[in-house]
Structure 1
Amino acid sequence: MELLFSVNLCKRGESFMDFQRVIVIDLASLGIGEASDANRYHSIGTDTLGHVAIRVGNRLKLPTLGRLGLGNIRFGNLINGLPPVDQPLGFYGKIHLEGLSNSPEGGIREMLDYQDGIRVTSVIDPIVKYSDDYARSIMITDYKSYISNQNLADIVAVNKDSLAFQTLHHEVISPVKGLIYMSVQGLPRAAENGSVDQYLDILRETDQHIAQVINEMNRSDLLIITSTFANDMTAAVSPTREYLPLIAYTPSNEDGQALGIRHSLADIGATIAEAFSLNYSKESVGHSFLGELLS
């Protein structure tokens, strides 16, 4: 599958359309190097993506993620086969988990929770409840406990990535507003099984699907690509404590810049909350990076 990126560059200072939809793709288990507190989690030297790259050599080909800026995140500590690009289409950075839990469940809670001024809540239900127009929160995942507690979410339970991506593409081309979340389920399974080749194959297939999503997006869409936890299959522990990738892309601004080191996955929840004009507290643990995408 070879897809071309649409080129819809906006000049700085040009007005931007309000976001009508946020699409989150969770590359679950993909870490990009030991976190600053890795020693507390027996994770010194861990580097999921870096170690996969070393093992597969020149077979690491992720053209879409590369153009979006994945290789730019590790500028100065390059990943084999994933060099930085001069003009990334996406905004890129890395995330340090704020919570002490290193589990997949803890990561997804931290990402989708935000502080609304009264309590910590999830962005999933309020998008539907408080939207001026009809909106949906669509969760394409095998996660159950946390997401199942969101009463207004449309939960699409799938156990194969082929079905998950098929559902994702169907939703992206639909005119409905709101939040779409999808987790790539094959990655954590391959990491748990220690299968480097399978992990690489899933990454490459995911890269192709992301290219298709980009071609399907509207100018008022925001795509966020991240990971809710890391699991370096070369390590003795599972999961591993690593920095997590962050890429944000919108067709309305393809002049990507660095987002730096974010100190919580809650920055994503805060960004989603601000994008949908929810009652987002500026004192929240998470700090929105929406303004950095529109400056």
Structure 2
Amino acid sequence: MKIKRVIILDLASLGIGESGDANRFDSVGADTLGHLFADTSEDITLPTLTELGLGSIRYQNLVSQLPVVEDPLGYYGKIQITAPNNEMHSGLREMLDYQSSIRTTSVLDSVVEANPVDNNVLLLSNYQSYFSNQIKAQNVHVNDDVSVWWSMHREAIRQRSGLIYARMSSLPRLANSANQRGYLDELIQIDGHIQRLMNEMFSTDMLIITSSFANDMSFPTSPTREYLPLIVYLPSNRAGKSLGIRRILGDIGATVAELFNVEVADKNHGHSFLREFI
């Protein structure tokens, strides 16, 4: 299996239930996704994410609108943050940083350095100082998700090598304002765009859907310490299965590093899950 491009879709603020260390962060009982659907009487569904395995992640704590599917198209599981603090940007660094032989660095620039001729890295996000420090990546500041998706769909149909990272800015804003109806509407829009993106992808692409932090708007704590979704879709392999529980968000960066032959130190905290697809 040859993967040339990875697309990371960060549904920032979407959590799927309290993590094992929730008691340390005043988050016992937090469940962004579960509370969203429990608090609405409307028949709202997310067909694409459900087909990919979002409901299957929660087989022990079902959401009626997100059923378990027998043959999911994606690999699915949950992943947690291990950072000792619970700040909104801690997960982003944990996701994409790795330990090289000499220092901690970002996989973003390293993907370009691994093959400067062919690989490119495109970052679609509202302003983040972390991204601005990546000098080899193309950093496109976009303040609304319409612009993110316009850029994403335009780029997806180009058969290129490297990495695309897209961060949804509307979800965190809606969570901060406790706009549950707006948050659900945004998830519905995202679900439709993911379906379109899947149709645009090449057989040499990999899509990773996750979240860099959680924010249950029914909780006074912000952010909340929760497990985060992990869904991987491969157009070349549509027979998904469970990825179980991944113990550190850095597993995503480690997987990207392995794909692009970036040298990772033995003491790196993240562990690639690439073997799950082989």
- Place the TM-score, normalised by the shorter chain, in its bin: over 0.9
CA deviation map 1:229-266 (0-9, x unaligned) = 00000001110000000001111111111111111110
Q: Does 2:244 match 1:260?
A: yes
Residue of structure 2 in register with 1:109 after alignment: 93
* Counterpart Cα distance in 1 of 2:246 and 2:194: 23
Give 1:195-214 correspondences, 5 Å limit: 195-214=179-198
Letter in 1 for 2:273: F
* Counterpart Cα distance in 2 of 1:166 and 1:244: 26
Residue of structure 1 in register with 2:55 after alignment: 71
* Counterpart Cα distance in 2 of 1:210 and 1:155: 22
Residue of structure 2 in register with 1:241 after alignment: 225
Whether the 8 Å CA contact 1:225–1:247 is kept in 2: the answer is: yes
Letter in 2 for 1:139: L
Report how far residue 218 of structure 1 moved. Answer: 0.6
Q: Does 2:147 match 1:163?
A: yes
User: Which of residues 2, 10, 23 in structure 2 aligns to 1:26?
Assistant: 10
Whether the 8 Å CA contact 1:128–1:137 is kept in 2: the answer is: yes
* Counterpart Cα distance in 2 of 1:203 and 1:73: 17
Cα gap change, 1:143/1:112 in structure 2, threshold over 3 Å: closer, same or farther?
Answer: farther
Greater than 4 Å deviation, 4+ residue runs: none
Unaligned runs of 5+ in 2: none
Letter in 1 for 2:243: L
* Counterpart Cα distance in 2 of 1:214 and 1:116: 33
Residue of structure 1 in register with 2:114 after alignment: 130
* Counterpart Cα distance in 1 of 2:179 and 2:229: 21
* Counterpart Cα distance in 1 of 2:134 and 2:241: 34
Q: Does 2:220 match 1:273?
A: no
Whether the 8 Å CA contact 1:58–1:81 is kept in 2: the answer is: no
* Counterpart Cα distance in 1 of 2:218 and 2:209: 24
Report how far residue 58 of structure 1 moved. Answer: 4.0
Give 1:226-237 correspondences, 5 Å limit: 226-237=210-221
CA deviation map 1:20-44 (0-9, x unaligned) = 0000000000000011111111111
Taking structure 2 as the reference length, what is the TM-score of the superposition?
0.97
* Counterpart Cα distance in 2 of 1:119 and 1:284: 10
* Counterpart Cα distance in 2 of 1:211 and 1:24: 15
Report how far residue 117 of structure 1 moved. Answer: 2.9
* Counterpart Cα distance in 1 of 2:164 and 2:85: 25
CA deviation map 1:137-190 (0-9, x unaligned) = 100001421111000110110111001100011111112211000011110111
Q: Does 2:88 match 1:97?
A: no
User: Which of residues 28, 37, 42 in structure 2 aligns to 1:53?
Assistant: 37
Q: Does 2:256 match 1:289?
A: no
* Counterpart Cα distance in 1 of 2:270 and 2:240: 21
Residue of structure 2 in register with 1:12 after alignment: none
* Counterpart Cα distance in 2 of 1:98 and 1:255: 30
Q: Identity, % of aligned pairs?
A: 50
SS state at 1:181 partner: strand
Letter in 2 for 1:160: D
Output the aligned Cα RMSD.
1.1
Q: Does 2:172 match 1:188?
A: yes
* Counterpart Cα distance in 1 of 2:31 and 2:15: 6
* Counterpart Cα distance in 2 of 1:46 and 1:280: 34
Report how far residue 124 of structure 1 moved. Answer: 0.5
User: Which of residues 204, 223, 248 in structure 2 aligns to 1:220?
Assistant: 204
Report how far residue 277 of structure 1 moved. Answer: 1.1
Structure 1 window deviating more from structure 2 (90-99 vs 116-125): it is 116-125
SS state at 1:224 partner: strand
Unaligned runs of 5+ in 1: 1-15
* Counterpart Cα distance in 2 of 1:57 and 1:74: 20
SS state at 2:244 partner: strand
Whether the 8 Å CA contact 2:214–2:228 is kept in 1: the answer is: yes
Give 1:172-187 correspondences, 5 Å limit: 172-187=156-171
User: Which of residues 69, 72, 82 in structure 1 aligns to 2:66?
Assistant: 82
How many residues align structurally? 278
* Counterpart Cα distance in 2 of 1:23 and 1:116: 23
Residue of structure 1 in register with 2:104 after alignment: 120
